[in-house]
Chains A and B, each alone.
Chain A
Amino acid sequence: MQDTTIEFTSVDKRYGQVRALDSVDLEVGRGITGLLGPNGAGKTTLIRIAATVLAPEGGRVSLLGRDPTEAGGRIEIRRRLGYMPQEPGFYRNFTAFEFVDYVAILKEMADRQERSEEVRRVLGVVELTDMAHKKIKALSGGMRRRLALAQALIGRPELLLLDEPTAGLDPEQRLRFRETVSQLANDPVVLLSTHQTEDVVALCERVIVLSAGAVRFDGAPKALAETASGRVWIGVDQDSRAALSWRMGDGRFRHIGDPPPGAAPAEPTIDDAYLLMVGSTSDSQQVSA
């Protein structure tokens, strides 16, 4: 097992004039790593490159020790990875079983018996066993998301890439999804992207903050929160000097940035740190801990 499963060195990616990724360096190893960032930050681009479906431009990428720009390496990586894209497409007339079976064939499982068992196994992991023979169009959004996760688990991948897996789910569905991910057997290396800080708090041992194509933070969630140390205040009035401020449930105001007059310091949360980091795009220094 590699120590670093995903390695990006000065990776660039452009779409016309837009720099989706700007000289990204990162290393992802054991455990669950969260890729946190606002929409348009380049998370999907990064995940796609890690999933070998997008070619990097500048820089070097190493996945599971191999080079994805080289045909032999690419196939080998694909044998050992599982990918759940952002908007997983389904053939609506498929049953859940047929969908996962199809992907299992794509993952080179030729033997019917073995494949059926594996399909049933992953459907069991995501708790869709009873729905296995229902058509996908009859499944709810939350169930389809679990189905999309199931196909990624076929073949027990060493590397699991989930692009915004909880987007659009209601809190209960998100909770169930997180529980499933946290209980995955044989510890794949997981990289999941999200714009919800709660996902990070609940699941991730490590978080990478991505904004405008650049890495702003790379470290433990707690350390991320601490970057906002001394920059979070609670006051009675709104203040225009603060970088960001909003009204809380109890009527007071939370400020991030410079202290407004009369405001008291507050314990920084990951949310505060995240907002501070990505809210102001002029602050482009990479912070690591």
Chain B
Amino acid sequence: MGMSSDGMRDASDQQLVFSIAEGDAGALRVLYERHAGWLIARLTRRCADQAIVDEVVQDTFLAVWRGARRYRGEGEVAAWIWGIGIRRLLDRFRRRRVPEWLPGGAGSEPSAEELVLLGIEHGDLAGALDRLSPELRSVISATVLDGLTTREAAALLGIPSGTVKSRLVRARRELREALT
């Protein structure tokens, strides 16, 4: 039976997805309220075109609605949603090269202040990442952060898969050296 709307507000993301798989549209609404916001923000940092981002967000949640059964409860729901969303965005870019993909962010050099803000938890890694060359950083961004496969990252960055793999190896080596 469906949860009451009050019960749904307290439900975990996992429980919501299971309800959605049974056709509960109220659960979809709650999940949307929790996740649409950050998805919009994160996609916007990769694509400046608002209309495209809006469509991708809509497509993503439609895919959630239709494919909720495929979520097996592994990992965070947010990560699952991101996986769907980023691939929808990628599809758009493959179809038309314009507008530009903004891998990871618009800015270039992090200010000292930003590094300090993050210093408590991520300082060392942040610094190490920052010292990587842009080409190495972009493969890390695409595979580790955005969760793309080697092939998807290769398609996105316009380089062969082999190059993606070798750059990942180098990036990891450099990070390990920087952190020890």
Contact = CB atoms under 8 A, between A and B. Distances in A.
Interface string B5-28: 000000000000000001111100
B1 A139 contact: yes
A130 B1 contact: no
A138 interface: yes
Contacts of B2: 130-131, 134
B1 A140 contact: yes
A95 B24 CA distance: 11
B23 A133 contact: yes
B25 A129 contact: yes
Contacts of B1: 138-140
A228 interface: no
Nearest to B27: A130
A132 B22 contact: no
A60 interface: no
B172 to A, nearest CB: 45
A139 B2 CA distance: 8
A135 interface: yes
Chain B interface size band reads: under 10
Most-contacted residue by chain B among A129, A132, A134 (CB, 10 A) = A134
B9 to A, nearest CB: 14
B25 A135 contact: no
A129 B26 CA distance: 8
Contacts of A134: 2, 22-24
Nearest to B1: A140
Most-contacted residue by chain A among B1, B23, B24, B26 (CB, 10 A) = B23
B15 to A, nearest CB: 15
Contacts of B22: 134-135, 138
Contacts of A139: 1
A138 to B, nearest CB: 6
A129 B2 CA distance: 12
Interface in A154-179: none
A138 B1 CA distance: 6
A172 to B, nearest CB: 14
A135 B22 CA distance: 8
Interface in A113-158: 129-135, 138-140
Nearest to B19: A134
Interface in A79-137: 95, 129-135
Nearest to B65: A133
A95 B2 CA distance: 14
A140 B23 CA distance: 15
Contacts of A138: 1, 22-23
Contacts of A129: 25
Contacts of A95: 23
Nearest to A95: B23
A139 B23 CA distance: 11
Nearest to A138: B22
Contacts of B24: 130-131, 133-134
17 contacts: A95-B23, A129-B25, A130-B2, A130-B24, A130-B26, A131-B2, A131-B23, A131-B24, A132-B23, A132-B25, A134-B23, A134-B24, A135-B23, A138-B1, A138-B22, A139-B1, A140-B1
4 closest A-B pairs (Cβ-Cβ)? A133-B23, A130-B26, A134-B23, A130-B25
Interface of B: 1-2, 22-26
Given A131-B2, A133-B24, 10 more contacts: A130-B26, A131-B23, A131-B24, A134-B22, A134-B23, A134-B24, A135-B22, A138-B1, A138-B22, A138-B23
